[in-house]
Amino acid sequence: MTSENTGSTRFMRTRADHARETAEDYVELILVLSEELGEARSTDIAQRLGISQVTVSQTLRRLIRDGLITAEPYRSIFLTESGRELAERSRDRHQVVVQFLRKIGVPDEIAEVDAEGIEHHVSETTLSVMRRHLEFD
């Protein structure tokens, strides 16, 4: 493989990873909003994420295409079964990472912020080790 092909492969992989991270963040937030407010709306998502309605709309269209949510204009957003499963896995990973970081002495606020990045990249092996260490409390 030429270095040009290697570079494009890495770029495509990075873009796919970012799209997956965004999908995980959105479905997790939709789950949280549904539990807290009884519904998830695009305006609530935009406000929580500090981004524009246009950006939210573009991402929601992709999530609909990928079968993770259902939505109609000016209505609530609902997770599909696949979307709910992804949201619950994402929330679980987030909680494990936050709890682990707190256990090793990271202050609460920093643990929450750091977990937002780590949760998307932590391997199942590392997550399993974190869970085992948390069980010893």
Q: Per-residue pLDDT for the chain (137 aa), expressed as one digit of tens each? A: 555 566 678 777 777 777 889 999 999 999 999 999 999 999 999 999 999 999 999 999 999 999 999 998 788 999 999 999 999 999 999 999 999 999 999 999 999 999 988 998 899 999 999 999 998 75
Query: Taking the model in full, what pTM does it have?
Result: 0.83
What is the rounded distance in angstroms from the CA atom of residue 123 to the CA atom of residue 20? 15
- Where in the chain is CATH 1.10.10.10? 3-82
What is the rounded distance in angstroms from the CA atom of residue 78 to the CA atom of residue 64? 10
Give, as one character, the DSSP assignment of residue 68.
Answer: S
Residue type, 25: D
- Give the architecture (CATH level 2) of 3-82: Orthogonal Bundle (1.10)
φ/ψ region of 70 (left if φ > 0, alpha if ψ in -120 to 50, else beta) reads beta
Q: What is the CA radius of gyration of the chain?
A: 17
**CB neighbourhood size of 63 (10 A):** 22
- Where in the chain is CATH 1.10.60.10? 84-135
Q: Give 84-135's CATH code, choosing from 3.40.50.300, 3.30.70.100, 3.20.10.10, 1.10.60.10.
A: 1.10.60.10
